[in-house]
Structure formats: C-alpha cells, structure tokens
Structure 1
Amino acid sequence: MRIALCTLFEGHYHHGVATLVNSLVAAGYQGTVWAGHRGPLPAWLARHARFDRRAGRLQVTPQVVLQTLALDPPRSLNYQKPAFMRELLQVHDPAAEAVVYLDPDLVVKCAWAEIEAWFAGGEVALVEDLDSALPSDHPRREGWRHFFAAHGEVPQRALARYYNSGFVGVPRAHDALLATWQRLCERIAEDHGGALRQRKLGAPDHPFHSTDEDALNFALMLDGAPLCTQGPEAMDFVPGGRHLSHAVGAAKPWQGRHFRGALRGRPPSVASQSFYRFTRGPLASLSPLTLVRRRLSMALATALGRVYRQR
C-alpha cells in the first residue's frame, strides 16, 4: 500500500523528528516521510551531506526519504494536522492510498507492517488516549454538541471512547473525515480565540481544552467511517504495549534532566526510555557527547525510579 506518512514540527521538536524517522527505518517502513515545519530547519538536517536544500529532501536510506515542507499557519500546528493530511492526498502525493499522521514525540517500536494492518482493510486507524473512557452522554461531549449545534453540525453516531490525535491513519476513501476535522478545528480557532500559538484552551474542564484532539473526536461522531481502534497500551500510556511510544506532556525526552526528575520522584516514562532506543540510527540530532550524558542520566534515573517515586 502506498502511504503518505507525515508529521509536523517547530522549535526543539526537530529532535523528535530525527528519532521518529530512525524508528520508522528500524520498523521497515519504505517510502517518504513528509515533515511540515515552521521556522528554519535544524542544523543536523540542513547541513547533512545528502540534504538537497533546493528540494528540501533528504535521502535517509535507499528506502526512506525525509521531505520537508515549510508552513506558516497563523495558529498552533496542532490545528494544522487535518489540513496537512488533506494537502498530501490532494497535492503532494495524489497516488497515496492512505495518509498517516504521527506526532514528532512518538516512536514506532514494532514492524511497520503491523501498523499498516490497522488501516489496510479500509478502516480509520486510531489509538485511545490515556483517559480513554468518555461516555456518549459525558458533559464534555454535551459541550461539543451544544457548541456545534449552532453551526449546523449534528452527530450521526454515539461513541464512548476518546482517541489521541498523535496517530491517525485515514484511507483515501474516508478523506471526508479529514475535511470535517479541518472544518471543526477552524471553527474552534475562530470562535474561542486565545493566543495564536496556544496549544491548549482554558482549564482542563474547558470543552476544547485539547483543541485538535477534541475536534477529531467530535468529527468521529459526525462521520460514519468504520474504525479500527487500539487501546491506550498501543502508545505506552498504560503497561503492555508494543506498537508505539508517545512521550506526551510538556517535558520531552530529548531535553534531558532525567536524573533531576527522578530525584523529585518522577522517574523516566516508558516513552522516554523508548526514545533513546532510536537515537542511534541514520539521523543524529544530538551530539555523541550529549547522547552519552543523557543515556547515563537515563540509566541512573531509571534505577532510582525502581526504589523511589512520587506518591
């Protein structure tokens, strides 16, 4: 299956892109990784011997290409996910049979063929969030219904699970879901305002605190596309996962300070440990000396976490 696989990044998230691509290479993925970015490209990419600056293209391995696309939307790149996925299908890779979005703070741990099987049958592939239970009559869903009813959006089905937007796989046959998701993101951004680069809205009980994620979950209520869903373990949000690892939260594994966090009772997460599994590969965003220090910090922090953690 031909897939348009993509991610979005800005600022220090370029470190995650390098490790994500390394994990895809290790997983056996073959094809292009489309990377939309805001701001200048990082030095490790722009100065790479095989980087074609004019085309914005890096031949990572004989089988994998990293293709960059400069973006400058007015708001957080979170809102840009469905628009970018649609642009790939319509403009940049019209031969693709499906489009897959992966957050840059995520790595693939299993064979890519296992991930591809989630949407190869024509279903939209999703992974449940950490707090995945969201009953159909939950006040948060009622808040979505109330807000969007004024804009003529009427749900077609009831759902009881909440899905993370860090991984979304959509076959071309269901690209209407992307159009719906994009429309909802634009409506939230227009009506709720906030700082232009703001990633979250209001307090955690705000109906659209998670912006693009909430928009995705309401879009799924509006659209009847069949779903292939995985539990939160598929992103290492709970134990037992082996597919993906998603380093959610403000502190990212490439920023270090692992031992300092462990001293405060917060040992490294499974996702942080998984990140360092793939820092060695065809792409290197961190210097060898920095990696040695970070790996040592990670090892000490992990050991400390076995005996001490915050209650």
Structure 2
Amino acid sequence: MTAISTSRSAVCTLFEGHYHYGVGALVNSLYRHGFRGIVWVGYRGKLPPWARAARQTPEGYDLEVAQNCLIRFLPLQIDIFFSNYKPYFMLDLWDRYGLEAERLFYFDPDIVVKCRWSFFEEWVDSGVALCLDGAYAYMPATHPFRLQWQQFACRQGLEVRRWPNEYYNGGFIGVRREHRVLLEAWRTLMEALRQEGVNISSFKNYEGYNIGDRSHPFYVADQDMLNLSVMVTEVPLSVMGTDAMDFTGAGFTMSHAVDAPKPWKKNFLWLLLKRGRLPTLPDAEFLKYIDRPIPLYSPLRLRLRRLNYLASKAVGTFYHRH
C-alpha cells in the first residue's frame, strides 16, 4: 500500500445506508481538487458496494482510493443520530484514533468540493472555518433563540462570550487542533441536551420536548448547539456566506445538496414531468464526481444516470421557451 501523509490535514464524514453514494462523490471531488491524505468515514451498517477492495484493519477497513489518498472506514456502535455525533467523532479522531493531522475538516455526505484543496487549508489557518446557513443566515444577537440558548448555557456553567449576528450551517466545519475547544464545547452542549431530556438519537423528534417546528430553540440540535458553541468560546472564526455551499449564486467552494430526494436518489426526468422540478446546481455538481477515481456505478448505470439528467435539462429548456 502507498504511504499516506498524515501530518497536514484530514477529512471526516459520517454515513449510513444509501448516503454512501454521497461519500464516494465527496471523496472523488476532494481527490480531483488536490486533497491527499486520509478521509475518515464513520459508518453504521454495511460497507459501500464500491469499497469491496477494502482491507480489514484492527479498527475497521482501509480503502486505497488513488495515489496518496485513503479512506479509513470506522464502524460505529452508537445510539446518537449521526448529525448530532459530529463533535464526538471529530474529537475521537484526535483522542482515540491517534489522528496526527493539525487540521481536521468535517463534510456532510451530501457535499462535494468545487475548488482547489489548498484553499480549504488557507481558510482554516485564518480561524475555524464555517459557512452561513441557507435558511437563517442572519440571526441577530438579540434573537429570542440566542437569549434562550444563553439561559441553557448558564445552566451548564458556561458563559456567553460573544453575540454573533450570523447563523452557521452544521454541514461543514474546519478546525485546527489548537482551536479544538469549540468542538469540546459543542460536545458538552449536545450531552447537556441529552441530560435535559432531548432525544439526540433522532432527527427533529425529541422526547420530553414539544418540538414541532422551527419555533423551538433546539429544533435542529446539532446546528443550534454549534452556533451556541461559537457564543461560549473565543476561538477565531473565518466565515463564508451562503454562496459557499451553493445556497445562493456565485459559489466556488462547495455544493451542498440539502433538499430531498438526494441527487443519487433522483429520477430527474420523472421529477420534471410529474412534479415540474428542474435539476438543481447540487445535482449537476454531484454528477461530475461519480466516476473517478472511485466508480460509484457500473458503466451502464453511469451512462443512464447522466442521460436521465441531460434529458431532463433538455425537456426543461424546451418547456421554458414555450
């Protein structure tokens, strides 16, 4: 096996079920934009079908993707919903699995990278790398959620040290080891939610709370507590706008497929003809990274998926003109 450099930067993500397609596309996009190193993948269930060549290790499975690029699969036996497990996993990589890299990046498995990898390293060297959320990018310092979060933090013995006007998306974060206190605060707050009766084993379905919509301050637990973690720490931040995840135009860094169904589950032509839904920019970006260096589909299925997308674009253009 090729020796893999582990000293500079590492990437991690979490998946189960069909989200393995997103993991494969993420890794392909990373590699093709210059990432070299280890992608740490926590998972439940089975290994992806495209990872059949992975070799077993004492901790999981390793798959050599290409020259100097490795996926390290770690099976996880936990009762926490994966969206809520991010700070636990990132800290475990440093503390339990012996990660040597000074920079650690988490990406949701429905994100692909669009620009040179060295930009991400430059970004996190300026501070904890974060992106504004697409739905609630502006959340004033006097927002009622922030005041309720402050009360929650105080009950945990944590002091609010800053009052941002921005709300950050939890699908991506880049952290240098020296700024890990933010991850520690995030994990502490997630555990505190659990102690107060919030069921972090599910998504937006919390026992002990009447949570039915976004009016609840813990409706999106991982993301809300990430934002509170920023409030109770003083580590430097480096924040990009909604363009950074293709929530708005002119983005050059990432594309985040937040809507359902996910790009790998879509029949693009059917969605257009039956529901009038055109393919999105994240759909197009996903399809760029499904072939190499990891082939996610057989040659026939790959061709059919791309033809399905192109047909929907052509039909959509025809109807738009008429």
Q: Same fold (TM over 0.5)?
A: yes
1:229 matched to 2:239: yes
Which of 288, 313, 317 does residue 302 from structure 1 map onto? 313
2:117 pairs with 1:95: no
Instruction: Give the structure 2 partner of residue 70 of structure 1.
Output: 75
Query: How many Å separate the matches in 2 of 1:97 and 1:43?
Result: 31
Distance 2:248 2:260 in 1: 18
Shift in alpha-carbon separation, 1:236–1:148, aligned structure 2, 3 A: same
Instruction: Name the CA distance, whole Å, in 2 between partners of 1:308 and 1:153.
Output: 56
Residue correspondence of structure 1 range 174-213 to structure 2 within 5 A = 174-194=179-199, 196-198=201-203, 202=211, 203-213=213-223
How many Å apart are 1:72 and its aligned residue?
Answer: 1.8
Query: Between the two proteins, what is the percent identity of the paired residues?
Result: 39
Contact 2:291 2:297 in 1 (8 A): no
1:279 pairs, out of 282, 290, 293, with 290
Tell me the alpha carbon deviations over residues 217-270 of structure 1, each in whole angstroms, 9 at most, x when there is no partner. 000000101111111101100010011001012310001222222231221211
5 Å-filtered alignment, 1:97-246, equals 97-121=102-126, 123-131=127-135, 132-194=137-199, 196-198=201-203, 202=211, 203-246=213-256
Partner of 1:289: 300
Q: For each residue in 1:122-154, what CA deviation from the matched residue of structure 2 results, as whole angstroms up to 9, or x when unmatched? A: x11111111211111112222222333333232
- 1:52 match: 55
Query: Which 4+ runs in 1 deviate beyond 6 A?
Result: none
Gap runs ≥5 in structure 1: none
Counterpart of 1:248 in structure 2 is: 258
**Root mean square deviation, CA, Å:** 1.8
Question: What's the TM-score, normalizing by structure 1?
Answer: 0.92
Q: Distance in 2 between matches of 1:245 and 1:222?
A: 29
Shift of 1:3: 1.3
User: Counterparts of 1:196 and 1:127 in 2: how far apart (Å)?
Assistant: 25
Q: What is the CA deviation profile of residues 92-114 of structure 1, one whole-angstrom value per residue up to 9, with x for unaligned ones?
A: 24421121101110001111011
> How far off its partner does 1:179 sit?
0.5
How many Å separate the matches in 2 of 1:159 and 1:119? 19
1:242-301 deviation per Cα after TM superposition (whole angstroms, max 9, x unaligned): 110010123100012222222312212111110000011021232322222221221222
Structure 2 distance, partners of 1:199, 1:70, is 24
Partner of residue 45 from structure 2, selected from 14, 35, 39? 39
CA distance in 2, matches of 1:65, 1:96: 14
* Cα 1:226/1:307, change in 2 over 3 Å: farther
Which of 5, 9, 13 aligns to 1:3? It is 9
TM-score of the pair, normalised by structure 2: 0.89
SS state of the match for residue 162, structure 1?
A: coil
